[in-house]
Chain A
Amino acid sequence: MAILKVENLTKNFGGVCAVRNVQLEFKEGELCSIIGPNGAGKTTFFKMIMGLLPPTSGNIFFQEKNITHLPTHKIASLGICQTFQIISIFPNLSVLENIRMAIQSRSKYNFSFFNSASKYLELQRMAQEIVNDVHLAGRESSNAKNLSYGEKRRLEIGITAARDPVLILLDEPTAGMSHEEILDTIKLIQNISARKTVIMVEHNIDVVFSLSSRVIVLNRGEVISDGSPKQIQQDEGVKRAYLGKQNDT
Protein backbone atom coordinates (compact mmCIF):
# COMPACT_ATOMS: atom_id res chain seq x y z
CA MET A 1 0.00 0.00 0.00
CA ALA A 2 1.23 3.48 -0.81
CA ILE A 3 1.72 5.40 2.40
CA LEU A 4 2.13 8.71 0.60
CA LYS A 5 0.79 9.53 -2.82
CA VAL A 6 1.06 12.84 -4.65
CA GLU A 7 -1.03 13.54 -7.74
CA ASN A 8 -0.25 16.25 -10.29
CA LEU A 9 1.42 18.36 -7.63
CA THR A 10 2.36 21.81 -8.92
CA LYS A 11 3.71 24.91 -7.23
CA ASN A 12 4.18 28.22 -8.98
CA PHE A 13 5.94 31.19 -7.42
CA GLY A 14 4.71 34.01 -9.65
CA GLY A 15 5.94 32.98 -13.06
CA VAL A 16 8.45 30.45 -11.77
CA CYS A 17 7.33 26.86 -11.65
CA ALA A 18 9.15 25.24 -8.70
CA VAL A 19 7.35 21.90 -8.83
CA ARG A 20 5.61 20.76 -12.00
CA ASN A 21 3.01 18.00 -12.24
CA VAL A 22 4.76 15.61 -9.90
CA GLN A 23 3.21 12.14 -9.62
CA LEU A 24 4.79 9.88 -7.01
CA GLU A 25 3.92 7.01 -4.72
CA PHE A 26 5.92 5.95 -1.69
CA LYS A 27 5.59 2.46 -0.27
CA GLU A 28 5.47 1.75 3.43
CA GLY A 29 8.86 1.04 4.94
CA GLU A 30 10.99 2.26 2.08
CA LEU A 31 13.90 4.66 2.39
CA CYS A 32 13.76 6.87 -0.62
CA SER A 33 16.09 9.70 -1.59
CA ILE A 34 15.27 12.71 -3.69
CA ILE A 35 18.25 14.26 -5.46
CA GLY A 36 18.61 17.02 -7.98
CA PRO A 37 20.54 20.19 -8.68
CA ASN A 38 19.93 23.36 -6.65
CA GLY A 39 16.54 24.85 -7.34
CA ALA A 40 15.10 21.56 -8.49
CA GLY A 41 12.13 21.96 -6.13
CA LYS A 42 13.09 19.41 -3.47
CA THR A 43 12.53 21.61 -0.44
CA THR A 44 9.36 23.07 -1.94
CA PHE A 45 8.09 19.52 -2.39
CA PHE A 46 8.68 18.80 1.32
CA LYS A 47 7.05 22.03 2.41
CA MET A 48 3.91 21.16 0.49
CA ILE A 49 3.67 17.72 2.08
CA MET A 50 4.09 19.29 5.51
CA GLY A 51 1.46 21.94 4.81
CA LEU A 52 3.93 24.79 5.14
CA LEU A 53 3.25 25.91 1.56
CA PRO A 54 -0.10 25.55 -0.21
CA PRO A 55 0.23 23.80 -3.60
CA THR A 56 -0.96 25.66 -6.69
CA SER A 57 -2.71 22.51 -7.83
CA GLY A 58 -2.69 18.78 -7.24
CA ASN A 59 -3.38 16.54 -4.29
CA ILE A 60 -1.45 14.80 -1.54
CA PHE A 61 -2.72 11.62 0.10
CA PHE A 62 -1.29 10.21 3.30
CA GLN A 63 -2.53 6.73 4.21
CA GLU A 64 -5.27 7.34 1.66
CA LYS A 65 -6.45 10.50 3.40
CA ASN A 66 -6.35 13.74 1.43
CA ILE A 67 -4.07 16.06 3.41
CA THR A 68 -3.57 18.72 0.73
CA HIS A 69 -5.29 21.52 2.59
CA LEU A 70 -4.84 20.44 6.19
CA PRO A 71 -2.97 22.79 8.55
CA THR A 72 0.58 21.78 9.47
CA HIS A 73 -0.18 20.70 13.03
CA LYS A 74 -2.89 18.30 11.83
CA ILE A 75 -0.55 16.79 9.24
CA ALA A 76 2.07 16.40 11.96
CA SER A 77 -0.34 14.68 14.29
CA LEU A 78 -1.23 12.17 11.56
CA GLY A 79 2.37 10.99 11.83
CA ILE A 80 4.56 12.98 9.47
CA CYS A 81 7.60 14.74 10.83
CA GLN A 82 10.31 16.70 9.11
CA THR A 83 13.85 17.86 9.76
CA PHE A 84 14.88 21.09 8.13
CA GLN A 85 17.62 22.08 5.75
CA ILE A 86 18.32 25.08 7.97
CA ILE A 87 18.55 23.77 11.52
CA SER A 88 15.27 24.28 13.32
CA ILE A 89 15.42 23.72 17.06
CA PHE A 90 14.44 25.70 20.16
CA PRO A 91 17.70 27.58 20.86
CA ASN A 92 17.02 28.79 24.40
CA LEU A 93 15.68 25.51 25.73
CA SER A 94 17.93 22.76 27.03
CA VAL A 95 18.64 19.71 24.90
CA LEU A 96 16.43 17.57 27.09
CA GLU A 97 13.57 20.08 26.93
CA ASN A 98 13.85 20.22 23.15
CA ILE A 99 13.27 16.48 22.98
CA ARG A 100 10.70 16.49 25.76
CA MET A 101 8.56 19.03 23.96
CA ALA A 102 8.51 16.78 20.91
CA ILE A 103 7.31 13.89 23.08
CA GLN A 104 4.84 16.04 25.00
CA SER A 105 3.12 16.99 21.74
CA ARG A 106 1.81 13.46 21.40
CA SER A 107 0.98 13.08 25.10
CA LYS A 108 -2.18 14.10 26.89
CA TYR A 109 -0.42 16.69 29.02
CA ASN A 110 -0.44 19.68 26.66
CA PHE A 111 -3.24 21.34 28.55
CA SER A 112 -1.98 20.70 32.05
CA PHE A 113 -1.74 24.17 33.49
CA PHE A 114 -0.74 23.65 37.04
CA ASN A 115 2.07 21.16 37.53
CA SER A 116 5.72 21.70 36.83
CA ALA A 117 6.63 20.25 33.44
CA SER A 118 9.66 18.51 34.91
CA LYS A 119 7.41 16.47 37.22
CA TYR A 120 6.12 14.35 34.34
CA LEU A 121 8.74 11.68 34.87
CA GLU A 122 7.52 9.40 32.14
CA LEU A 123 8.12 12.08 29.51
CA GLN A 124 11.44 12.89 31.13
CA ARG A 125 12.57 9.28 30.93
CA MET A 126 11.52 8.87 27.30
CA ALA A 127 13.32 12.08 26.42
CA GLN A 128 16.48 10.84 28.13
CA GLU A 129 16.39 7.64 26.05
CA ILE A 130 16.27 9.61 22.84
CA VAL A 131 19.04 11.92 24.01
CA ASN A 132 21.16 8.79 24.47
CA ASP A 133 20.13 7.46 21.07
CA VAL A 134 21.37 10.56 19.27
CA HIS A 135 24.63 10.53 21.27
CA LEU A 136 23.95 13.70 23.19
CA ALA A 137 24.18 12.17 26.66
CA GLY A 138 26.06 14.52 28.97
CA ARG A 139 24.73 17.59 27.18
CA GLU A 140 21.12 17.32 28.37
CA SER A 141 21.14 20.55 30.31
CA SER A 142 23.08 22.71 27.82
CA ASN A 143 21.08 25.27 25.94
CA ALA A 144 20.52 24.02 22.42
CA LYS A 145 22.09 27.17 20.96
CA ASN A 146 25.44 26.27 22.58
CA LEU A 147 25.77 22.95 20.77
CA SER A 148 28.21 22.45 17.92
CA TYR A 149 26.86 22.28 14.39
CA GLY A 150 26.97 18.49 14.23
CA GLU A 151 25.32 18.19 17.64
CA LYS A 152 22.54 20.51 16.55
CA ARG A 153 21.92 18.33 13.52
CA ARG A 154 21.72 15.27 15.76
CA LEU A 155 19.34 17.10 18.09
CA GLU A 156 17.18 17.97 15.12
CA ILE A 157 17.01 14.30 14.14
CA GLY A 158 16.31 13.45 17.79
CA ILE A 159 13.38 15.87 17.91
CA THR A 160 11.97 14.24 14.81
CA ALA A 161 12.47 10.73 16.15
CA ALA A 162 10.84 11.71 19.44
CA ARG A 163 7.60 12.38 17.59
CA ASP A 164 7.63 8.67 16.69
CA PRO A 165 6.25 9.46 13.22
CA VAL A 166 5.12 7.03 10.54
CA LEU A 167 6.76 9.04 7.79
CA ILE A 168 9.99 10.97 8.24
CA LEU A 169 11.06 13.72 5.87
CA LEU A 170 14.77 14.50 6.12
CA ASP A 171 15.89 17.67 4.37
CA GLU A 172 19.66 17.45 3.82
CA PRO A 173 20.48 15.73 7.12
CA THR A 174 24.24 15.78 6.48
CA ALA A 175 24.63 19.28 5.03
CA GLY A 176 27.81 20.95 6.24
CA MET A 177 29.11 17.93 8.16
CA SER A 178 32.58 16.48 8.33
CA HIS A 179 33.29 12.99 7.04
CA GLU A 180 33.12 11.37 10.52
CA GLU A 181 29.95 13.18 11.38
CA ILE A 182 28.40 11.97 8.15
CA LEU A 183 29.21 8.35 9.03
CA ASP A 184 27.63 8.85 12.46
CA THR A 185 24.56 10.39 10.90
CA ILE A 186 24.17 7.52 8.44
CA LYS A 187 24.09 5.09 11.38
CA LEU A 188 21.63 7.30 13.17
CA ILE A 189 19.31 7.43 10.19
CA GLN A 190 19.51 3.66 9.82
CA ASN A 191 18.54 3.30 13.47
CA ILE A 192 15.56 5.60 13.44
CA SER A 193 14.35 4.47 10.04
CA ALA A 194 13.80 0.86 11.07
CA ARG A 195 10.11 0.10 10.54
CA LYS A 196 9.46 3.62 9.29
CA THR A 197 9.13 5.25 5.91
CA VAL A 198 11.80 7.83 5.19
CA ILE A 199 12.02 10.32 2.36
CA MET A 200 15.33 12.12 2.28
CA VAL A 201 16.59 15.06 0.29
CA GLU A 202 20.37 14.82 0.09
CA HIS A 203 23.25 16.23 -1.92
CA ASN A 204 25.90 13.81 -0.73
CA ILE A 205 25.79 11.00 -3.26
CA ASP A 206 27.64 8.55 -0.98
CA VAL A 207 24.98 8.99 1.68
CA VAL A 208 22.22 8.58 -0.88
CA PHE A 209 23.62 5.38 -2.35
CA SER A 210 24.57 3.80 0.95
CA LEU A 211 21.13 4.34 2.51
CA SER A 212 18.39 4.34 -0.06
CA SER A 213 16.56 1.57 -1.82
CA ARG A 214 15.08 4.01 -4.30
CA VAL A 215 16.25 7.31 -5.76
CA ILE A 216 14.14 9.98 -7.40
CA VAL A 217 15.78 12.70 -9.46
CA LEU A 218 14.13 16.08 -9.72
CA ASN A 219 15.19 18.74 -12.18
CA ARG A 220 13.46 22.08 -12.64
CA GLY A 221 10.48 20.81 -10.72
CA GLU A 222 9.98 17.66 -12.74
CA VAL A 223 10.73 14.02 -11.98
CA ILE A 224 13.28 13.02 -14.59
CA SER A 225 14.17 9.64 -13.18
CA ASP A 226 12.94 7.20 -10.57
CA GLY A 227 14.47 3.84 -9.76
CA SER A 228 17.05 1.84 -7.83
CA PRO A 229 20.42 3.50 -7.15
CA LYS A 230 22.00 1.41 -9.89
CA GLN A 231 19.48 2.44 -12.51
CA ILE A 232 19.96 6.07 -11.58
CA GLN A 233 23.74 5.88 -11.94
CA GLN A 234 23.35 4.72 -15.52
CA ASP A 235 20.56 7.09 -16.48
CA GLU A 236 21.52 9.41 -19.34
CA GLY A 237 18.95 12.05 -18.38
CA VAL A 238 20.42 12.32 -14.88
CA LYS A 239 23.94 12.76 -16.22
CA ARG A 240 22.68 15.51 -18.48
CA ALA A 241 20.92 17.31 -15.65
CA TYR A 242 24.00 17.24 -13.47
CA LEU A 243 26.77 17.67 -15.98
CA GLY A 244 25.20 19.85 -18.64
CA LYS A 245 24.73 19.42 -22.34
CA GLN A 246 28.27 18.64 -23.52
CA ASN A 247 27.60 14.97 -22.76
CA ASP A 248 24.88 14.97 -25.39
CA THR A 249 26.43 13.01 -28.19
Chain B
Amino acid sequence: MSRWLFKGFQDTHIFFLWAIFFLVLPLFVSNRFIITEILAYSLFGISFNLMLGYVGLLSFGHALYFGSGAYTMALLLIHFKVNIFVGILAGMGIGAIFALMVGLLSIRQYGVYFSMLTLGFAEMVYFIALKMRDLTGGENGLAIVRPPLEIPGLFSMSLESPLRLYYFVFIFLILTLFIFRRIIDSPFGKVLDIIRENETRARTLGYNVEKFKLIAFVISGLFSGLAGTLYCLIIKFVHCGDLQWLKSGEVVIMTLIGGTGSLYGPIVGAIINTFLSDFISLLWQRWLFVLGTIFVIFVLYMREGVWGEMQRLQKKLGRRL
Protein backbone atom coordinates (compact mmCIF):
# COMPACT_ATOMS: atom_id res chain seq x y z
CA MET B 1 0.00 0.00 0.00
CA SER B 2 2.65 2.52 1.00
CA ARG B 3 4.69 1.37 -1.96
CA TRP B 4 1.84 2.23 -4.26
CA LEU B 5 1.33 5.51 -2.50
CA PHE B 6 4.80 6.76 -3.17
CA LYS B 7 5.92 5.02 -6.29
CA GLY B 8 2.91 4.26 -8.41
CA PHE B 9 1.62 7.77 -8.03
CA GLN B 10 0.85 9.16 -11.42
CA ASP B 11 -0.64 12.31 -12.69
CA THR B 12 -4.00 10.62 -13.20
CA HIS B 13 -4.14 9.62 -9.54
CA ILE B 14 -3.29 13.13 -8.42
CA PHE B 15 -6.01 14.50 -10.66
CA PHE B 16 -8.61 12.18 -9.12
CA LEU B 17 -7.36 12.89 -5.60
CA TRP B 18 -7.90 16.60 -6.15
CA ALA B 19 -11.33 15.92 -7.62
CA ILE B 20 -12.28 13.84 -4.57
CA PHE B 21 -10.79 16.41 -2.22
CA PHE B 22 -12.94 19.19 -3.62
CA LEU B 23 -15.94 16.89 -3.86
CA VAL B 24 -15.96 16.16 -0.14
CA LEU B 25 -14.56 19.48 1.08
CA PRO B 26 -18.01 21.02 1.80
CA LEU B 27 -18.66 18.20 4.26
CA PHE B 28 -15.87 19.47 6.48
CA VAL B 29 -15.97 23.21 5.98
CA SER B 30 -19.06 25.08 7.04
CA ASN B 31 -18.05 28.33 5.35
CA ARG B 32 -19.10 27.38 1.81
CA PHE B 33 -18.50 30.91 0.54
CA ILE B 34 -14.78 30.73 1.16
CA ILE B 35 -14.27 27.32 -0.39
CA THR B 36 -16.21 28.41 -3.47
CA GLU B 37 -13.89 31.38 -3.69
CA ILE B 38 -10.95 28.98 -3.49
CA LEU B 39 -12.31 27.14 -6.53
CA ALA B 40 -12.52 30.32 -8.58
CA TYR B 41 -9.05 31.45 -7.55
CA SER B 42 -7.66 27.99 -8.33
CA LEU B 43 -9.08 28.28 -11.81
CA PHE B 44 -7.50 31.72 -12.20
CA GLY B 45 -4.15 30.43 -10.94
CA ILE B 46 -4.17 27.43 -13.25
CA SER B 47 -4.86 29.62 -16.29
CA PHE B 48 -2.19 32.08 -15.25
CA ASN B 49 0.35 29.33 -14.65
CA LEU B 50 0.09 28.14 -18.24
CA MET B 51 2.12 31.25 -19.07
CA LEU B 52 4.44 31.36 -16.07
CA GLY B 53 5.04 27.66 -15.52
CA TYR B 54 4.77 26.23 -19.02
CA VAL B 55 5.76 29.00 -21.42
CA GLY B 56 8.05 30.69 -18.90
CA LEU B 57 6.68 34.20 -19.30
CA LEU B 58 5.54 36.24 -16.30
CA SER B 59 2.41 38.17 -17.22
CA PHE B 60 1.81 40.92 -14.72
CA GLY B 61 -1.52 41.95 -16.14
CA HIS B 62 -3.72 38.92 -15.77
CA ALA B 63 -6.28 40.92 -13.81
CA LEU B 64 -7.30 42.34 -17.18
CA TYR B 65 -8.62 38.98 -18.43
CA PHE B 66 -10.09 38.05 -15.06
CA GLY B 67 -11.71 41.44 -14.53
CA SER B 68 -12.99 41.80 -18.07
CA GLY B 69 -14.61 38.36 -17.74
CA ALA B 70 -16.24 39.42 -14.50
CA TYR B 71 -17.43 42.72 -15.97
CA THR B 72 -18.82 41.03 -19.07
CA MET B 73 -20.86 38.74 -16.88
CA ALA B 74 -22.12 41.58 -14.68
CA LEU B 75 -22.99 43.94 -17.53
CA LEU B 76 -24.78 41.26 -19.53
CA LEU B 77 -26.78 40.25 -16.46
CA ILE B 78 -27.71 43.82 -15.53
CA HIS B 79 -28.57 45.10 -19.00
CA PHE B 80 -29.76 42.01 -20.83
CA LYS B 81 -30.61 39.48 -18.12
CA VAL B 82 -28.87 36.80 -20.14
CA ASN B 83 -28.71 33.10 -19.42
CA ILE B 84 -25.90 32.15 -17.08
CA PHE B 85 -24.11 30.12 -19.76
CA VAL B 86 -24.26 32.99 -22.24
CA GLY B 87 -22.61 35.20 -19.62
CA ILE B 88 -19.88 32.64 -19.01
CA LEU B 89 -19.15 32.12 -22.70
CA ALA B 90 -19.13 35.85 -23.38
CA GLY B 91 -16.79 36.46 -20.43
CA MET B 92 -14.41 33.81 -21.71
CA GLY B 93 -14.54 35.31 -25.20
CA ILE B 94 -13.79 38.81 -23.95
CA GLY B 95 -10.90 37.49 -21.83
CA ALA B 96 -9.49 35.74 -24.90
CA ILE B 97 -9.91 38.81 -27.12
CA PHE B 98 -8.08 41.03 -24.64
CA ALA B 99 -5.34 38.40 -24.36
CA LEU B 100 -5.05 38.27 -28.14
CA MET B 101 -4.71 42.06 -28.40
CA VAL B 102 -2.17 42.37 -25.59
CA GLY B 103 -0.38 39.23 -26.77
CA LEU B 104 0.06 40.48 -30.33
CA LEU B 105 1.79 43.58 -28.99
CA SER B 106 3.91 42.04 -26.27
CA ILE B 107 4.63 38.35 -26.97
CA ARG B 108 7.94 39.12 -28.73
CA GLN B 109 9.36 40.57 -25.54
CA TYR B 110 11.22 38.70 -22.85
CA GLY B 111 11.49 38.78 -19.09
CA VAL B 112 10.77 42.04 -17.38
CA TYR B 113 9.81 43.79 -20.64
CA PHE B 114 7.00 41.33 -21.20
CA SER B 115 5.85 41.72 -17.59
CA MET B 116 5.90 45.51 -17.83
CA LEU B 117 4.02 45.59 -21.14
CA THR B 118 1.28 43.27 -19.89
CA LEU B 119 1.08 45.35 -16.71
CA GLY B 120 0.90 48.54 -18.74
CA PHE B 121 -1.97 47.37 -20.92
CA ALA B 122 -3.91 46.08 -17.93
CA GLU B 123 -3.49 49.37 -16.10
CA MET B 124 -4.67 51.26 -19.17
CA VAL B 125 -7.90 49.31 -19.21
CA TYR B 126 -8.20 49.71 -15.44
CA PHE B 127 -8.04 53.50 -15.67
CA ILE B 128 -10.49 53.59 -18.55
CA ALA B 129 -12.89 51.47 -16.52
CA LEU B 130 -12.37 53.72 -13.51
CA LYS B 131 -13.30 56.80 -15.52
CA MET B 132 -16.31 55.25 -17.27
CA ARG B 133 -18.26 55.40 -14.08
CA ASP B 134 -21.66 55.20 -15.76
CA LEU B 135 -20.88 51.85 -17.29
CA THR B 136 -18.62 50.21 -14.73
CA GLY B 137 -19.68 51.80 -11.47
CA GLY B 138 -16.08 52.90 -10.93
CA GLU B 139 -14.77 52.22 -7.46
CA ASN B 140 -18.24 51.50 -6.16
CA GLY B 141 -18.64 48.66 -8.59
CA LEU B 142 -21.79 46.92 -9.72
CA ALA B 143 -23.95 44.55 -7.75
CA ILE B 144 -25.70 41.76 -9.60
CA VAL B 145 -28.48 39.33 -8.92
CA ARG B 146 -27.26 35.78 -9.31
CA PRO B 147 -29.19 34.18 -12.17
CA PRO B 148 -30.58 30.67 -11.88
CA LEU B 149 -28.90 27.75 -13.58
CA GLU B 150 -31.24 27.40 -16.48
CA ILE B 151 -31.62 25.69 -19.81
CA PRO B 152 -34.67 27.36 -21.34
CA GLY B 153 -37.54 24.95 -21.78
CA LEU B 154 -35.72 22.15 -19.98
CA PHE B 155 -35.05 23.03 -16.38
CA SER B 156 -34.22 25.82 -14.01
CA MET B 157 -32.48 25.74 -10.66
CA SER B 158 -31.65 28.53 -8.26
CA LEU B 159 -27.99 28.91 -7.31
CA GLU B 160 -28.75 30.76 -4.10
CA SER B 161 -27.93 27.70 -2.01
CA PRO B 162 -24.18 27.95 -1.19
CA LEU B 163 -23.73 24.22 -1.67
CA ARG B 164 -25.29 24.22 -5.12
CA LEU B 165 -23.16 27.18 -6.15
CA TYR B 166 -20.09 25.37 -4.84
CA TYR B 167 -20.73 22.32 -6.97
CA PHE B 168 -21.57 24.47 -9.97
CA VAL B 169 -18.13 26.12 -9.78
CA PHE B 170 -16.55 22.77 -8.89
CA ILE B 171 -17.65 21.31 -12.24
CA PHE B 172 -15.94 24.15 -14.08
CA LEU B 173 -12.71 23.70 -12.12
CA ILE B 174 -12.59 19.97 -12.82
CA LEU B 175 -13.38 20.50 -16.50
CA THR B 176 -10.63 23.10 -16.74
CA LEU B 177 -8.14 20.85 -14.96
CA PHE B 178 -9.04 18.06 -17.34
CA ILE B 179 -8.64 20.27 -20.41
CA PHE B 180 -5.33 21.70 -19.19
CA ARG B 181 -3.97 18.24 -18.47
CA ARG B 182 -4.76 17.23 -22.02
CA ILE B 183 -3.25 20.40 -23.45
CA ILE B 184 -0.04 20.06 -21.47
CA ASP B 185 0.41 16.46 -22.51
CA SER B 186 -0.46 17.08 -26.17
CA PRO B 187 2.00 17.71 -29.00
CA PHE B 188 1.14 21.40 -28.64
CA GLY B 189 1.99 21.33 -24.93
CA LYS B 190 5.30 19.62 -25.68
CA VAL B 191 6.20 22.48 -27.99
CA LEU B 192 5.63 24.87 -25.08
CA ASP B 193 8.02 22.69 -23.07
CA ILE B 194 10.83 22.96 -25.59
CA ILE B 195 10.29 26.68 -26.04
CA ARG B 196 10.78 27.14 -22.31
CA GLU B 197 13.78 24.83 -22.28
CA ASN B 198 15.68 26.18 -25.27
CA GLU B 199 13.97 28.74 -27.43
CA THR B 200 16.71 29.14 -30.03
CA ARG B 201 16.86 25.42 -30.63
CA ALA B 202 13.08 25.30 -31.01
CA ARG B 203 13.34 28.00 -33.66
CA THR B 204 16.07 26.17 -35.56
CA LEU B 205 13.82 23.11 -35.60
CA GLY B 206 11.25 25.13 -37.49
CA TYR B 207 8.84 26.05 -34.69
CA ASN B 208 7.24 29.46 -34.99
CA VAL B 209 7.87 30.33 -31.35
CA GLU B 210 5.78 33.52 -31.27
CA LYS B 211 2.73 31.74 -32.66
CA PHE B 212 2.84 29.03 -30.00
CA LYS B 213 3.36 31.57 -27.23
CA LEU B 214 0.46 33.65 -28.50
CA ILE B 215 -1.89 30.66 -28.63
CA ALA B 216 -0.92 29.75 -25.07
CA PHE B 217 -1.53 33.34 -24.01
CA VAL B 218 -4.99 33.37 -25.56
CA ILE B 219 -5.88 30.05 -23.89
CA SER B 220 -4.68 31.54 -20.62
CA GLY B 221 -6.83 34.63 -21.16
CA LEU B 222 -9.83 32.50 -22.11
CA PHE B 223 -9.78 30.56 -18.85
CA SER B 224 -8.88 33.61 -16.76
CA GLY B 225 -12.06 35.11 -18.20
CA LEU B 226 -13.94 32.01 -17.07
CA ALA B 227 -12.51 32.42 -13.58
CA GLY B 228 -13.66 36.05 -13.61
CA THR B 229 -17.24 35.24 -14.60
CA LEU B 230 -17.49 32.58 -11.89
CA TYR B 231 -15.97 34.91 -9.30
CA CYS B 232 -18.53 37.55 -10.22
CA LEU B 233 -21.32 34.99 -9.71
CA ILE B 234 -19.91 33.98 -6.34
CA ILE B 235 -19.54 37.42 -4.77
CA LYS B 236 -22.46 38.93 -6.77
CA PHE B 237 -20.37 42.01 -7.27
CA VAL B 238 -17.73 43.42 -9.56
CA HIS B 239 -15.63 46.55 -9.23
CA CYS B 240 -12.62 48.18 -10.87
CA GLY B 241 -10.30 46.54 -8.37
CA ASP B 242 -10.84 43.30 -10.29
CA LEU B 243 -8.93 44.88 -13.19
CA GLN B 244 -6.19 46.44 -11.11
CA TRP B 245 -2.56 45.38 -10.73
CA LEU B 246 -3.20 44.27 -7.15
CA LYS B 247 -5.30 41.45 -8.54
CA SER B 248 -2.52 40.59 -11.01
CA GLY B 249 -0.03 40.58 -8.16
CA GLU B 250 -2.28 38.36 -6.09
CA VAL B 251 -2.34 35.64 -8.74
CA VAL B 252 1.44 35.88 -9.16
CA ILE B 253 2.06 35.49 -5.43
CA MET B 254 -0.53 32.73 -5.15
CA THR B 255 1.03 30.75 -7.99
CA LEU B 256 4.59 31.19 -6.76
CA ILE B 257 3.66 30.03 -3.25
CA GLY B 258 1.78 27.04 -4.60
CA GLY B 259 4.41 26.14 -7.16
CA THR B 260 4.75 26.81 -10.87
CA GLY B 261 6.16 23.45 -11.87
CA SER B 262 2.88 21.60 -12.07
CA LEU B 263 -0.76 22.01 -12.84
CA TYR B 264 -1.80 21.61 -9.22
CA GLY B 265 0.56 24.11 -7.60
CA PRO B 266 -1.76 27.09 -8.10
CA ILE B 267 -4.58 25.21 -6.33
CA VAL B 268 -2.43 24.92 -3.22
CA GLY B 269 -1.55 28.58 -3.64
CA ALA B 270 -5.21 29.53 -3.89
CA ILE B 271 -6.02 27.61 -0.72
CA ILE B 272 -3.20 29.26 1.23
CA ASN B 273 -3.97 32.72 -0.12
CA THR B 274 -7.70 32.53 0.56
CA PHE B 275 -7.13 31.04 3.99
CA LEU B 276 -4.71 33.81 4.93
CA SER B 277 -6.85 36.63 3.60
CA ASP B 278 -10.08 35.35 5.12
CA PHE B 279 -8.96 33.93 8.46
CA ILE B 280 -5.84 35.77 9.50
CA SER B 281 -7.33 39.09 8.45
CA LEU B 282 -9.93 38.56 11.18
CA LEU B 283 -7.23 38.04 13.77
CA TRP B 284 -4.81 40.68 12.69
CA GLN B 285 -5.33 43.71 10.49
CA ARG B 286 -1.82 43.60 9.11
CA TRP B 287 -2.26 40.13 7.60
CA LEU B 288 -0.56 41.23 4.38
CA PHE B 289 2.60 41.37 6.46
CA VAL B 290 2.21 37.63 7.09
CA LEU B 291 1.61 36.97 3.39
CA GLY B 292 4.63 39.08 2.47
CA THR B 293 6.87 37.20 4.89
CA ILE B 294 5.69 33.86 3.59
CA PHE B 295 6.28 35.02 0.04
CA VAL B 296 9.84 36.12 0.80
CA ILE B 297 10.59 32.80 2.47
CA PHE B 298 9.28 30.91 -0.54
CA VAL B 299 11.24 32.90 -3.06
CA LEU B 300 14.42 32.54 -0.99
CA TYR B 301 14.23 28.93 0.09
CA MET B 302 11.43 27.06 -1.68
CA ARG B 303 11.52 28.05 -5.30
CA GLU B 304 9.37 25.10 -6.29
CA GLY B 305 6.52 26.21 -4.04
CA VAL B 306 4.53 24.07 -1.63
CA TRP B 307 3.44 21.61 -4.27
CA GLY B 308 6.96 21.27 -5.64
CA GLU B 309 8.33 20.57 -2.16
CA MET B 310 5.61 18.00 -1.56
CA GLN B 311 6.50 16.22 -4.79
CA ARG B 312 10.17 16.22 -3.85
CA LEU B 313 9.35 14.75 -0.47
CA GLN B 314 7.21 12.11 -2.12
CA LYS B 315 10.04 11.12 -4.43
CA LYS B 316 12.47 10.98 -1.54
CA LEU B 317 10.20 8.71 0.47
CA GLY B 318 9.55 6.64 -2.64
CA ARG B 319 13.25 5.98 -3.04
CA ARG B 320 13.55 4.80 0.56
CA LEU B 321 10.77 2.25 0.30
What is the interface of chain A, defined by CB distance below 8 A to chain B? 50, 52, 71-73, 76-77, 81-82, 84, 88-93, 97, 100-102, 104-106, 109-118, 120, 159, 163
CB-based contact A77/B186 at 8 Å: no
Give Cα distance in the complex from A115 to B186, angstroms: 5
CB-based contact B187/A110 at 8 Å: yes
Q: Is the interface of B mostly helix, strand, loop or mixed?
A: helix
A residues in contact with B189, CB < 8 Å: 113, 117
Instruction: With CB as the reference atom, state the residue of chain B lying closest to A90.
Output: B197
Encoded as 1 (CB less than 8 Å from any A CB) or 0, chain B from 185 to 204 comes to 11111110110011011011
Say whether, besides A73-B208, A105-B205, A163-B205, A113 and B182 are in contact (CB < 8 Å): yes
> Which of these, A105, A111, A113, contacts B206 with CB under 8 Å?
A105
Instruction: With CB as the reference atom, state the residue of chain A lying closest to B195.
Output: A90
> Which of these, A72, A84, A114, contacts B183 with CB under 8 Å?
A114
B residues in contact with A118, CB < 8 Å: 185
B residues in contact with A110, CB < 8 Å: 187-188, 191, 207
CB-based contact A73/B182 at 8 Å: no
A residues in contact with B194, CB < 8 Å: 90, 93, 101
Interface pairs (7), CB distance under 8 Å: A52-B200, A73-B204, A88-B198, A92-B193, A104-B190, A114-B182, A117-B190
Give Cα distance in the complex from A100 to B187, angstroms: 10
Interface residue? B209 (CB, 8 A): yes
A106 to chain B, nearest CB (A): 7
CB-based contact B182/A81 at 8 Å: no
Q: Is the interface of A mostly helix, strand, loop or mixed?
A: loop
CB-based contact A81/B205 at 8 Å: yes
CB-based contact A76/B183 at 8 Å: no
CB-based contact B186/A114 at 8 Å: yes
CB-based contact A104/B187 at 8 Å: yes
B7 to chain A, nearest CB (A): 16
A84 to chain B, nearest CB (A): 8
B residues in contact with A116, CB < 8 Å: 182, 185-186
B residues in contact with A109, CB < 8 Å: 187
A residues in contact with B188, CB < 8 Å: 110-113
> Which of these, B182, B185, B190, B200, contacts A101 with CB under 8 Å?
B190
A28 to chain B, nearest CB (A): 21
CB-based contact A89/B204 at 8 Å: no
CB-based contact B203/A90 at 8 Å: no
Instruction: With CB as the reference atom, state the residue of chain B lying closest to A111.
Output: B188
CB-based contact A159/B205 at 8 Å: yes
B118 to chain A, nearest CB (A): 23
CB-based contact B200/A91 at 8 Å: no
Give Cα distance in the complex from A120 to B193, angstroms: 17
Give Cα distance in the complex from A52 to B194, angstroms: 18
CB-based contact A89/B201 at 8 Å: yes
CB-based contact B209/A101 at 8 Å: no
B residues in contact with A50, CB < 8 Å: 204
Say whether, besides A101-B191, A117-B190, A92 and B201 are in contact (CB < 8 Å): no
Give Cα distance in the complex from A93 to B194, angstroms: 8
CB-based contact A106/B193 at 8 Å: no
> Which of these, B187, B205, B208, B215, contacts A117 with CB under 8 Å?
B187
